[in-house]
Amino acid sequence: MPSDAHAANTTIGVIGLGIMGRPMALNLLAAGYPVVVHSRSRPPVEELVSAGAHEADSPRAVAERSDVIITMLPDSPDVEAVVLGPGGVIEGARAGALFIDMSTIAPATARAVHAAFAAAGVDAVDAPVSGGEPAAKSGELSIMVGGDEPAVARARPILEVLGARITHIGPPGTGQVAKAANQIVVALTLQAVAEALALAQEAGADPARVREALLGGYAGSKILEVHGQRMLEGSFTPGFRLELHRKDLGIALAAADEAGLPLGATIQAAELMDVLIAEGHGDADHSVLRRWYRAD
């Protein structure tokens, strides 16, 4: 937790006030930080301004007024545009500022952004999160951090406002590698649970009892517990949208390709998601993978 003096004297810019960025900015305000915001969509900007934040009209203007700049954006191209594009963060950031990208993007993009800031005398860390909207609201995100130790140390009091579990993974870009690894495990465990519950159903066993029997043993996982239950109920309200998970697997597969590593199961899961998205399930919770498995 930050000291009151640290908070009052550290202006934080937040760019991107979507499902995740909006509650995160509110938590920073509540912790006593002056906050400057910018976002494409008006309603969350107005909400933040009512709550005490200032508005700036471009990423550059946010950076000019901030000691720390946080971005929470959908994908790699968004971060590249907002940071390195015309009117971008890098044009306004002062030497000595700190940049924290909390978006989920390609490790290669994170490293490029880090290098650009390093050349401008700005510390930068990649700090993608897991836990989704509920954890963003409660300030209990898991945060995977890549960056040099001094930059990570500067970011830590701020990250502790937003998250309950902060892990410094390693050098710049490795926070994104950890997030990619996380999304692989979640996708393939969803598929594991979907195939197992489908078999139970079609082979005449009560899938609810099978889930129950499996929870206590080696088959036990957070996904079997939470998403297994959603699959049993056929309740696919997000949660985490399938389409975003597919985007994250694209990042993971690009990073794997770059490393010369073939990830057969992840490739297959991504293809299955593509079909489900084409069938109109992109906005459903990712546990909708269960829908794939039907007896013929």
| Three-state DSSP state, 87 | coil
Whether residue 40 contacts residue 18, with contact meaning beta carbons closer than 8 Å, is answered with no
**214 forms part of the interface with its own copies (CB under 8 A):** yes
Here's the x/- map for its own copies, 173-212, by CB under 8 A: it reads as xx--xx-xxx-xxxxxx-xxx-xxxxxx-xxxxx--xx-x
Q: How far is CA 164 from CA 157, 184, 190, 191, 293, in A?
A: 12, 22, 24, 28, 36
Nearer to its own copies, 38 or 227 (CB): 227
The minimum distance between CB 155 and its own copies, in angstroms, equals 15
| Three-state DSSP state, 281 | helix
User: Which window, 22-30, 49-57, 148-156, 218-226, contacts its own copies (CB under 8 A)?
Assistant: 218-226
**247 forms part of the interface with its own copies (CB under 8 A):** no
The minimum distance between CB 223 and its own copies, in angstroms, equals 6
The minimum distance between CB 225 and its own copies, in angstroms, equals 10
Burial of 122 per CB tally in 10 Å (0-12, 13-18, 19+): buried
**142 forms part of the interface with its own copies (CB under 8 A):** yes
Please give the positions annotated as active site.
179
Nearer to its own copies, 104 or 191 (CB): 191
Out of 79, 136, 144, 284, the residue judged to bind its own copies by CB under 8 A: 144
Whether residue 141 contacts residue 134, with contact meaning beta carbons closer than 8 Å, is answered with no
Closest CA to 67 of 14, 27, 2, 29: 14
